[in-house]
Amino acid sequence: MDIYALFSVIPQLHLITFDADRRMIRSNDNIGRIFSAFLSTEEYMEMIFSHGKNHDTPFVLAAYIGFVWEAVYEKREGNLVRVHVLGPIFYSPYSNEAMERCLRQYESLGMSFSDKHKLIAQMQELPVMKYSQFAHYGMMLHYLVNGQRISMNDFDHMQDTSFLATASFPVASDVSEDRDVVYENIYHFENLLLNEVAQGQSSLYAAELNDMVQKGRLATVPTEYANVAEPSRSRKDSLLILNALECHKAIEAGVLISTAYRAQESFIEEIENTHSPLGMNQLHQDIHQTYCALVQEAMDEKKQYSPVIRKCMTYLKNNITSGVTTAQLADQTGYEPYYLNRLFKTEVGISPKQYYRDLKMHYAARMLLESEISIADAAEYLHYSSYTHFCSDFKAVMNCTPTDYRRSHR
């Protein structure tokens, strides 16, 4: 059966085939080259082919602009022979203004002016269809190419990543012409994420969030109403906002302020250094899972120790750059130093002094890896009056000297 003739029956649904060397060898129409050029502009082609080397079932790829593609892999004796790409399609309507804005960035990345305008013209004709309908076309193509029946659950993005990695995070025009509805959807989306953070579970509302994606009701701030011209800047701003929201929610849920803000600042740097839409979607997932994990750790610690010991631990963590003594710690709890020391060792297994030392050394290890601070300055920063004492404690905890640790872990 001629698969190209078959898919030509479906209005505006494009089928492009590439060989194992990523050369376009056939299309079911005369505009395949335009969409092939778009796939090659970003790292989408790399993503599709890298995935196909280790997977056999179809792969769904959502581009920032709102395009959705399906890649079907044709293999012989386990080796990739061809990749058949269906699409792009939209899950929901996309305004002409949004198309123009998004493609300005792709033009700066190498897309020719001529190809950009040809692409805009073709984008206006692309089909808008539900996820289930598009998935059925992918299942049909997979059967025609490989003779294997599959279901929607076999699509790799449905199994291997969450909504955060597969969603294209549409802007306001993708969701609704009613601005109030857009903002209501944003508020609902943010609340779902923050509720997951508060409970330390990153998949609590996965079904509802996936449903929002598939129905085109997912949006984030800033929307196109904010008039942020560059799509990548808009996406970065969205990540920065959500990073801040989730950081504050994690602190409210019991994560130490210093721990939460350290994570937030680390993610700010990653956001600014990430430029591809795919990378930003993955980073969004990493941010969300990190804050949920931090909250879960805080909850586990809270269950494990008595209130007075948790209070001691929190005080020591929040004063890691000071020189807290057991007597000072006892003043915070109202217990006698001797009794507190014995109680702490019974519950934790080590004395407050050893616990504090371990905290300081793990903090020092991060400083040595994440900054150019000298070892002497690190010792002084952590309230060590003796450089030798600092190095001795570091080796006792990390099993090597500060110099060796920095050299071997960078």
Residue 382: the pLDDT is 92
- Average pLDDT value for residue range 89-102: 67
Query: Same CATH fold, 305-409 and 3-160?
Result: no
**Residue range 50-90, pLDDT digits in tens:** 888 888 889 888 765 667 889 999 998 889 999 999 988 87
Percentage of the chain surpassing pLDDT 90? 27
Residue 331: the pLDDT is 92
The CATH T-level fold of domain 305-409 is Arc Repressor Mutant, subunit A (1.10.10)
Locate all alpha helices (DSSP H) within 305-381, ordered by sequence.
307-318, 326-333, 337-348, 352-370, 375-381
Residue 395: the pLDDT is 93
- Who wins on pLDDT, 300 or 271? 271
pTM: 0.45
- Average pLDDT value for residue range 11-28: 87
Residue 163: the pLDDT is 32
Residue 384: the pLDDT is 93
- Average pLDDT value for residue range 217-222: 62
- Who wins on pLDDT, 199 or 410? 199
- Binning pLDDT at 50, 70 and 90, where does residue 214 land? very low
Phi and psi, residue 369, nearest 5°: -85, -35
**Which CATH architecture fits 3-160?**
2-Layer Sandwich (3.30)
Dihedral sign (CA 308, 309, 312, 318): negative
Domain ranges of the chain: 3-160, 167-297, 305-409
Whether residue 391 has pLDDT greater than 90? yes
Residue position matching structure tokens 């505006």: 12
- Who wins on pLDDT, 87 or 112? 87
- Who wins on pLDDT, 58 or 301? 58
Residue 107: the pLDDT is 61
Mean of per-residue pLDDT scores for the chain: 79
Give the CA angle between residues 104, 105, 106 to the nearest 5°.
Answer: 95
User: Whole-angstrom Cα distance, residue 265 to residue 267?
Assistant: 5
End-to-end CA, the chain: 56
**Residue range 246-268, pLDDT digits in tens:** 999 999 888 888 889 999 999 99
Whether residue 170 has pLDDT greater than 50? no
